[in-house]
């Protein structure tokens, strides 16, 4: 081979294996080809208008699609600069944003929450510099977990930015996104990215009407090739060429809203299907709650009972009656939590995402009649 000349690489050749986060089950190796990575990258470069003038700060792990595709590979594709910090520290991140000409920033909700706390703990002069630094950025993105409305609103107060929320997963890169230039809606993940098709189906794989919850299916050049050495799982992941995300969504006014992962976020209790994410949004508004996670736990009477694990603010005392009274005034009776665990910290993975099976394990073997 001539020196300095790269060999030809077939577009359909396997290029990368990333493992799923394991927040809902055993991690699987997701295989993508060169063509599929190109599909994932070009849709984001087009939608978010990357250019060679951009500079992004990376604080996300490269074993995750958010870090290696959305941040690093999009920067490389565009000829932009990608600055990297070794791990995440809120103070270090703020200092970097203040000192460097960053134009793009992407993170998960947990990171934005910690940045908010660091901003609140800073002195007035530091706060002014931090907020001014955010004003120099053209785009700030949140993803990899549902963005709490409380975080969205507080971040806007701190930074002046309405976070752009998008939807993706290891198997597809990104599939849906709020608009770069148009209005962004709390709780919405927007519309399909360029080149991506989306549809919503019921359990029989029939298309559902607008406004009716169903499983999100995705098709496009961004969708992965296979699960590594798991052919049965690969076959089960597709239906007539469409990838089954396993996420329940509803299409409202032309925009998609995520209701949750069908395996852990949709709770079947007393004959009803309940979104854990909806309940979490309400529990988070309780003043004593810093963060929470809602799960369904097997129950002989209810099928599944609604349980909530909570991180309290400054170790505040919080009882089940407190949570039930708060949610009873704001939710249907069958959505009100029946069990409560107050924990020092919710179980999370390396990306900061709550691992719902570990949360459910906190309630294993317990039953309260409420």
The position carrying tokens 């009649």 is 369
Taking 3-state DSSP, the helix, strand and coil percentages for the chain, each rounded to the nearest 5, stand at: 30, 30, 40
Q: Please give the Cα distance from 166 to 183 (Å, whole number).
A: 13
Nearest CA among 278, 284, 338 for reference residue 311 = 284
d(CA 153, CA 158) in angstroms, rounded, equals 9
Residue 370 has pLDDT above 60, yes or no: no
Q: Report the share of the chain in percent with pLDDT over 70.
A: 97
Q: Where are the domains of the chain?
A: 14-259, 264-361
pLDDT of residue 22 exceeding 70: no
d(CA 178, CA 169): 16
CATH code of 264-361, in short, is 3.30.300.30
For residues 179-201, average pLDDT: 94
Q: Among the listed ranges 33-37, 144-148, 169-173, which one has the minimum average pLDDT value?
A: 144-148
In whole angstroms, give the CA distance from residue 327 to residue 282: 7
Highest mean pLDDT among 58-67, 217-226, 309-318: 217-226
Round to whole Å and give the CA distance between 355 and 364. 15
User: Among residues 149, 148, 152, 194, which one has the least CA distance to residue 174?
Assistant: 194
pTM, 2 dp? 0.83
CA nearest to 137, candidates 191, 84, 94: 94
Would you state the pLDDT for residue 273? 84
Average pLDDT of the residues in 48-72 = 96
Read off the pLDDT of residues 210-253 as tens digits, 9 standing for 90 and up: 999 999 999 999 999 999 999 999 999 999 999 999 999 999 99
Identify the pLDDT of residue 184. 92
Identify the pLDDT of residue 365.
Answer: 67
Q: Which helix (H) or strand (E) holds 46?
A: helix 34-47
The mean-pLDDT minimum among 27-31, 129-133, 155-159 falls in 27-31
Q: 14-259 in CATH: which number?
A: 3.40.50.12780
What's the rounded mean pLDDT across residues 161-181?
A: 96
CA distance 138 to 181: 10
Identical fold at 14-259 and 264-361?
Answer: no
pLDDT at 369 over 50: no
For residues 327-337, average pLDDT: 94
Q: Is the pLDDT of residue 24 over 70?
A: no
Residue 222 tokens, joined: 């961004």
Sign of CA dihedral 18, 19, 24, 25: positive
* pLDDT at residue 255, rounded to an integer: 96
For β-strands 173-177 and 139-142, DSSP reports them as: unpaired
CA–CA separation, 174 and 67 (whole Å): 12
> Kind and range of the H or E element at 273?
strand 272-275
- In the DSSP assignment, the letter for residue 94 is H
The closest of 19, 93, 113 to 349, measured between CA atoms, is 19
Residue 23 predicted with pLDDT over 70: no
Q: What is the pLDDT of residues 72-84, one digit of tens each?
A: 999 999 999 999 9
The residues, any chain, with a CB within 8 Å of residue 282's CB and separated by 6 or more, are: 326, 327, 330, 331
Four-point Cα dihedral 246, 250, 256, 257, nearest 10: -80
Average pLDDT over the chain, rounded to an integer: 93
Distance CA 337, CA 339 (A): 6
Angstrom distance (rounded) from CA 96 to CA 88? 11
């Amino acid at each position: 081979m001539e020196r300095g000349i790269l060999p030809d690489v077939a577009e359909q050749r396997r290029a990368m294996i990333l493992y799923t986060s394991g927040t809902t089950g055993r991690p699987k190796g997701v295989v993508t080809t060169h063509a599929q990575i190109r599909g994932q990258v070009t849709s984001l470069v087009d939608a978010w208008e990357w250019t060679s003038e951009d500079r992004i700060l990376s604080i996300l792990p490269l074993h995750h699609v958010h870090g290696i595709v959305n941040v690093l590979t999009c920067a490389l594709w565009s000829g932009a600069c990608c600055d990297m910090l070794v791990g995440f520290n809120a103070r270090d991140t703020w200092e970097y944003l203040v000192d460097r000409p960053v134009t793009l920033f992407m993170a998960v909700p947990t990171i934005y929450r910690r940045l908010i706390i660091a901003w609140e703990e800073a002195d007035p002069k530091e706060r002014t510099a931090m907020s001014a630094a955010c004003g120099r950025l053209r785009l700030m993105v949140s993803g990899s977990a549902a963005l709490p409305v409380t975080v969205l609103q507080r971040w806007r107060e701190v930074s002046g930015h309405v976070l752009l929320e998008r939807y993706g997963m290891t198997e597809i890169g990104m599939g849906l996104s709020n608009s770069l230039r148009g209005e962004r809606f709390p709780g919405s993940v927007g519309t399909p990215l360029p080149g991506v098709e989306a549809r919503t189906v019921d359990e029989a794989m029939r298309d559902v009407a607008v406004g009716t919850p169903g499983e999100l299916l995705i098709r496009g050049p961004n969708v992965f090739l296979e699960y590594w050495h798991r052919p049965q799982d690969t076959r089960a992941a597709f239906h007539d060429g469409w990838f089954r995300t396993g996420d329940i969504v509803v299409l409202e006014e032309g925009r998609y809203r995520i209701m949750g992962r069908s395996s852990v976020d949709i709770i079947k209790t007393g004959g009803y299907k309940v979104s854990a994410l909806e309940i979490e949004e309400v529990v988070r508004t309780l003043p004593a709650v810093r963060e929470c996670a809602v799960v369904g736990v097997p129950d002989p009477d209810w099928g599944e009972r609604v349980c909530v694990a909570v991180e309290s603010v400054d170790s505040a005392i919080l009882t089940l009656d407190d949570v039930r009274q708060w949610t009873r005034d704001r939710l249907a009776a069958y959505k009100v939590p029946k069990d409560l665990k107050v924990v020092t910290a919710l179980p999370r993975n390396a990306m900061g995402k709550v691992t719902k099976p570990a949360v459910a394990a906190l309630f294993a073997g317990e039953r309260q009649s409420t």
